Amino acid sequence: MYNNILLPISFEGRRDSLGAIAVAEGLASPGAKITMLHIMDPIPGYASTYMPSEFRAHQRKELLADLSNLARGVRGAECEVIDGHAGREIVDWAEVHHNDLIVMASHRPGIEDYFLGATAARVVRHARCSVHVLR
């Protein structure tokens, strides 16, 4: 059983976020903290000049609301939305916040990342804690 679980959430349709939530709850010790984390990809500089200045703040607010709705009923859940590149940020977050488990859903990969998606593969290779990947 785990006490401090990181649960990265992607809102892409090809990932089983609900399955990952169920696994995290099943592996959580009584009183465990489950951090549901969404990472907002950076917007390329050439595109950001065409977006309204409040776009990122509005996007963050909407994503946090979606994450909070997903977390409803998950005991010990906290929601966070941060900026960055998913694979790197997940590993860094787990290290800084002393997570003892990362539970993440992976999409069905293509030939370039045959066994796992690129983000899941990076997390599995670099995380210092246990990683449970759902496919």
Task: Dump pLDDT digits (tens) for 67-111.
Answer: 999 999 999 999 999 999 999 999 999 999 999 999 999 865 555
Note whether 87 and 116 are within 8 A (CB).
Answer: no
Structural domain that includes position 119: 2-134
Give the distance, in angstroms, between the CA of residue 36 and the centroid of all CA atoms in the same chain.
6
Please give the model's pTM, rounded to 2 decimal places.
0.90
CA angle 130, 124, 12 (to 5 degrees): 105
d(CA 114, CA 107): 11
- Please compute the mean of the pLDDT values over residues 113-121 and round it to a whole number: 71
Read off the pLDDT band of 113 (50, 70, 90): very low
CATH number, domain with residue 73? 3.40.50.620
Q: Is 62 helix (H, G, I), strand (E, B) or coil?
A: helix
Report residue 11 as tokens.
Answer: 């809102």
What DSSP element (H or E) covers 105? strand 101-105
For residue range 38-75, list pLDDT tens digits in order.
999 988 888 888 888 899 999 999 999 999 999 999 99
d(CA 58, CA 125): 34
Number of separate domains in the chain:
1
What DSSP element (H or E) covers 5? strand 2-8
Distances (CA, A) of 76 to 3, 79, 102: 10, 10, 15
